[in-house]
Amino acid sequence: MLQTKADFLTKNEIFELYTKGFTRPEDFKIGIEFERLPINSTSFEAVDYWGNKGVAACLKQFAQQNSWDYIVDENNVIGLAKNHDTITLEPGSQVEISAKPERTIFELKRKIDSINSNLESVFHNNDILLLSYGVSPYSTCKNIHLIPKRRYKIMANYLWGILSDVMMRETAGIQCCIDFYSEEDAMRKFKLANKLIPFMTAMFSNSPVRGSVDTGYKSFRALSWLNTDNDRCGFAGKISEEFSFEDYIDCVMKTPMIFIQRNGQPVNINGDMTFEEYMNKGFEDIYPNISDYELHANLYFPEVRLRNFIEIRNHDCVGGDLKYSILAIYKGIFYDKIAMEETEELLKSLQYKDYSELRYNIPKQGLNASIKKYTVLNYAKSIIEIAEKSLKRNQTGENLFIQPIKELIQKGCSPADIILKKWNGSWNKNLRKMINYLTQYE
C-alpha cells in the first residue's frame, strides 16, 4: 500500500519514542558501548575489514565458535548479536561492544569480560590487538578503508568537517547509557550530563599520539568531533533551564537530513532539507514515517543524545577497569538525589558560553584548562568525590570502580598526561613502548 500525504508522521508519534523510555527508579540500569581499534600486533597498522586475517574474518570465526548471529548489510557481515548484546563495526573497522544494560556495574563487567576473553582470543590468533585508545596510533584515515556498510559511505561523502574522516575511520570512544522515570527527570539529567561532559572528556583523555607523533592535544579524538559537522554535533540546544522533549525534538528536526531508507535501499537527501521540511512536504513523493525520524535522530551526534534513555557520548576509549570508572561516576551522580543536587550546585555558576569554551579548550589543554577562577582539575576532584560518596551511601560496593580514575586525578593526571610524560621521557617517542603500555592492563 502506497503511503500518502494523509499518512504523514505526527509530532505525537515522535514524542512517544521518548516517553516509552520511562522506567521506575527501582528498575534503573546502566549500559556501556565501547569501541576499540584493531591494529596489527607487529606493525601497529590499522587492520582492514577484508582479507583472511581481516576484521570480518575474525568476527565470523568468533560467531562460529560462540554461537552469535550475523548482522549483515548486502550480505557483508558488519556485526554480531546474541541475547541483546551486540558486537558491531564502526566505519574504520573499529570493534564496538554494546552490552545490554544491567542493574550493577559488576554485572556489566562480568558480561564484558566474558565476551572479551573469547573475542580477543580470536583476534590474537590472527595477529590483531584490540587497542583501548582514542585514536589510531600509527595509520591515518588516508590508509584506513571504510567497511562495506552503505550508511557509512553516504555519511563519509556528506559530513563536511575537516576532520570528519579522522572521526569516522580513526577514533574509538566510550558511551554510557542511563535511565529516567519521567520527562522532568530525563531533562534534568540531560542538562546535567551536558554540563558534566567537558569535565569527563578531560578526565578520560586518551588520544595524544596519532600517526606516531605527539599531536599537541590531550584528546585528538575530541578535536576530530569539533571538526566533523557543526549542524549535528556539539550541544543539543542551549542546555537552558527550560528544556523539554519537544525542544530536543525540534533540535533534531531542524538538522539537515543525510538520507532515508525505502525498500531496504538508501535514498540520498544530502542536506537539501531539514527533517522539519520533510515532515511538512515529503521528498520526491516519499512521505515521512517513524523509522525515518529514528534514522535521522541516529545521524544526529550531540555530546549527549536523547533516546528512550540518555546516551552520554564524548569519552576517549580507555583500558582495563578505567572504563568502568566512567559508569561509576554517572551512576553515582544520576541515580542519587543528593548527588544530583550537589553536582548541580557545583556547576551552577557556569553558563552556556563557559561550557562552549570548555568544549573547545579541553581537547588541547585537558585537566589544565581553566574556567572562571578554577581549573578543570579542581572540578574533576569534586565530581569524583560526589560520585564516590553517593556509591558508598547506596552500599552496592560499586564505589571501588571510582578508584582507577581517582588515583589518576589525585596525581593531577589523565591517561593522556601519563602517556605524554612517558612518550617524551623514558619511551623516547617509541610507539612499540606505548602500545605495550596500553595493552598491559587489558
DSSP-derived letter for residue 53 is T
Q: How far is Cα of residue 186 from the mean position of the Cα atoms in its chain?
A: 19
Distance, CA of 377 to CA of 119 (rounded, Å) = 36
Rg of the chain on CA atoms, in Å:
21
SS3 state of residue 306: strand
Residue keyed to cell 582492514: 48
Given a contact cutoff of 8 angstroms between Cβ atoms, the answer to whether 362 and 380 are in contact is: no
DSSP-derived letter for residue 368 is G
List, in sequence order, every beta strand (DSSP E) within 66-178. 69-73, 76-82, 85-89, 95-102, 128-131, 173-178
SS3 state of residue 359: helix
Single out the residue of 130, 107, 119, 125 nearest to residue 44, CA to CA: 130
Task: Spell out the long-range contacts of 275-278 with Cβ–Cβ below 8 A and sequence spacing 24 or more.
Answer: 276/250
Given a contact cutoff of 8 angstroms between Cβ atoms, the answer to whether 41 and 110 are in contact is: no
pLDDT at 157: 95
pLDDT at 1: 40
Question: What residues contact residue 294 under an 8 Å CB cut-off, 6+ apart?
Answer: 17
Residue 376 C-alpha cell reads as: 578543570
DSSP-derived letter for residue 4 is -
Domain ranges of the chain: 5-439
Task: Give me the helices (H) in 70-126, please.
Answer: 105-125
End-to-end CA distance of the chain: 53
Distance, CA of 314 to CA of 174 (rounded, Å) = 7
Sequential pLDDT tens for the chain (442 residues): 445 554 679 999 999 999 999 999 999 999 999 999 999 999 999 999 999 999 999 999 999 999 999 999 999 999 999 999 999 999 999 999 999 999 999 999 999 999 999 999 999 999 999 999 999 999 999 999 999 999 999 999 999 899 999 999 999 999 999 999 999 999 999 999 999 999 999 999 999 999 999 999 999 999 999 999 999 999 887 676 788 999 999 999 999 999 999 988 999 999 999 999 999 999 998 999 999 999 999 999 999 999 999 999 999 999 999 999 999 999 999 999 999 999 999 999 999 899 999 999 999 999 999 998 899 999 999 999 999 999 999 999 999 999 999 999 999 999 999 999 999 999 999 999 999 999 986 6
Q: Which helix (H) or strand (E) holds 382?
A: helix 376-393
**Amino acid (one-letter) located at 292:** D
List, in sequence order, every beta strand (DSSP E) within 263-331. 265-268, 301-302, 304-306, 310-316
Residue 303 C-alpha cell reads as: 555530546
Given a contact cutoff of 8 angstroms between Cβ atoms, the answer to whether 51 and 108 are in contact is: no
Q: For the chain, what's the residue count?
A: 442
Given a contact cutoff of 8 angstroms between Cβ atoms, the answer to whether 131 and 137 are in contact is: yes
Top CATH class of 5-439 equals alpha beta
Q: Are strands 173-178 and 30-40 parallel, antiparallel or unpaired?
A: antiparallel
pLDDT at 442: 60
- Whether the CA torsion 373, 356, 203, 192 is positive or negative: it is positive
DSSP-derived letter for residue 399 is G
